[in-house]
Amino acid sequence: AQSVAQPEDQVNVAEGNPLTVKCTYSVSGNPYLFWYVQYPNRGLQFLLKYITGDNLVKGSYGFEAEFNKSQTSFHLKKPSALVSDSALYFCAVRDGGNQGGKLIFGQGTELSVKP
Amino acid sequence: KAGVTQTPRYLIKTRGQQVTLSCSPISGHRSVSWYQQTPGQGLQFLFEYFSETQRNKGNFPGRFSGRQFSNSRSEMNVSTLELGDSALYLCASSSEGRLRGEKLFFGSGTQLSVL
């Protein structure tokens, strides 16, 4: 069965510092990995995805993620954090074949960026 | 283009009642999926509809049901409400839902409180 794990419930970063939100995955076959962000009282917004190709994926709002097959990881990164990046971040893997499917989410990591 | 619209935004019900939540996908999107979000269980997949047919179903009891109309709008129904059904219910749409690399567009959700 496909699964993702986010080992940190919370990450605290000072504004201007680099940030990393960790995600590891377990899949059979090729992984289709996603990062979504959720701001308070809102739905989820797509940040980026990995399907195939370059291991470094660039996404919205200056975020990027590094796919590492040997470590089965897909960590989200940003070189310089902003206070407005404070939100709940979810890593997800796509389950199912090309007849529909679902996203399996990690438990989420709350990112707090302090001025 | 308007985003995914969910109504109502908030609902308060009592145990034993039933509730219907509504979701209007992005224009042109034919796949609609539903997720339940709770602090304890995180984000869990409920079901997915495509062209008025349920294509995938998660591990929820039969009290949870849904349907999709010819205009792709979707409703989900929960009968005989239990306290544990209190959650944020998120609807997501995508154009086809078949491709594993396809991203989902989420609504802001319906916050259901069962008293």
Q: A33 to chain B: nearest residue by CA?
A: B101
Q: A5 to chain B: nearest residue by CA?
A: B42
pLDDT of residue B40: 87
When pLDDT is averaged across residues B80-84 and rounded to a whole number, the result is 97
pLDDT in tens, A28-60: 888 889 999 999 878 899 999 998 888 999 999
pLDDT of residue A98: 52
- Looking at residue A69, the DSSP 8-state letter turns out to be T
Which amino acid, B60? F
CA distance A8 to chain B (A): 14
Q: A109 to chain B: nearest residue by CA?
A: B42
Query: What does the DSSP assignment read for A88-104?
Result: EEEEEEEES-SS--EEE
Confidence category of residue B59, pLDDT binned at 50, 70, 90: very high
Largest CA distance in chain A: 46
pLDDT of residue B95: 84
Q: How far apart are CA B32 and CA A81, in angstroms?
A: 33
Query: What does the DSSP assignment read for B25-80?
Result: PPTT--EEEEEEEETTTEEEEEEEEETTEEEEE-S--TTEEEEE-TTS-EEEEE-S
Q: Which residues of chain A fall short of a pLDDT of 50?
A: none
Asked if B42's CB is within 8 angstroms of A106's CB, the reply is yes
- Chain B residues within an 8 Å CB radius of A108: 42-43
Cβ neighbours, 10 Å, residue B28: 9
pLDDT in tens, B2-46: 899 999 999 999 999 999 999 999 999 999 999 999 998 899 999
pLDDT of residue A44: 93
